[in-house]
Amino acid sequence: MSGLMTVFWKELADHFSSKRFIILLSLIYLAGLSAVYVALQTIRSEVTGTTELVFLRLFTTSGGVLPPFLVFIIFFIPIVGIALGFDSINSERSSGTLSRILSQPLFRDAVINGKFLAGLVTIGIMLVSIVTIIGGMGLRIIGVPPSSEEVWRILIFLGVCIIYGAFWMSLAVLFSILFERTATSALAAIAIWIFFTFFMPMIAGLVADAIVPLSHSEAQSNPALIVKHEEVERMLLRISPTPL
């Protein structure tokens, strides 16, 4: 356990002192704050005294120009996870430091788990900080505090986002173990992300059309057929971590 924590603290310090972390954090802040600023203009013009869950609209409302903050997070979290994990092992191997690390009284799984936990904590700090800043902006501009239900939903959202980032980072770490070159592990992880993000919805739609053919006339006369078509497509999309 002590060996794992030693690797964890060392990797965490490396993440926070790296230019990669600063660039990724800046991109997330820039995209997230821009989306929320545009969303705030829409919220102030649409919200009335009877509108419910106003605070959550900060994360789900788009301003027409930019997509909502939720879309940015879904897009950026895999990139952050891959960037933090694609060279975690093979870079140590290529530089010759891995053999020196393993010559110490450390288990191999302690090295891998320590690197993974450091990346996971880094992702968590990124997400918690940007959500906290957005919440502060919402309180300052909208003037409506979140209800207990909204707080719980935000906490659950943060937990799901961290698990989502952990999936992509663990995949990148796996490729970092399997491939000797960092470029190969990065390309393999990015290829899987592109497939699930862009191609999987198209494949699910094509398969659903093949299983449940749906013409324009049938769609108007048979609503049950539309529901069945959507269920098949949704079932196929559950294979992908992005829609989940």
The pLDDT value recorded for residue 189 is: 92
> 167: burial class by Cβ within 10 Å (0-12, 13-18, 19+)?
middle
pTM of the model: 0.83
The pLDDT value recorded for residue 76 is: 86
The pLDDT value recorded for residue 74 is: 83
The pLDDT value recorded for residue 187 is: 92
Question: Are 1 and 105 a contacting pair, CB within 8 Å?
Answer: no
The pLDDT value recorded for residue 244 is: 57
Among residues 49, 54, 48, 30, the alpha carbon closest in space to that of 139 is found at: 54
Q: Distance between CA 244 and CA 241 in Å, rounded? A: 5
Residue 33: count of CB within 10 angstroms of its CB: 16
The pLDDT value recorded for residue 221 is: 64
The full set of domain ranges for the chain reads: 2-180, 182-244
The pLDDT value recorded for residue 199 is: 86
The pLDDT value recorded for residue 121 is: 93
The pLDDT value recorded for residue 141 is: 75
Q: What is residue 2's three-state secondary structure?
A: helix
Q: Which residue has the tokens 């288990």?
A: 107
The pLDDT value recorded for residue 166 is: 92
Could you give the C-alpha distances from 236 to 1, 140, 200, 215, in angstroms and in order?
A: 40, 42, 9, 20
Give per-10-residue mean pLDDT for the chain (244 aa).
77 87 87 78 64 73 74 86 87 73 71 88 91 82 78 89 91 90 90 88 82 67 73 78 65
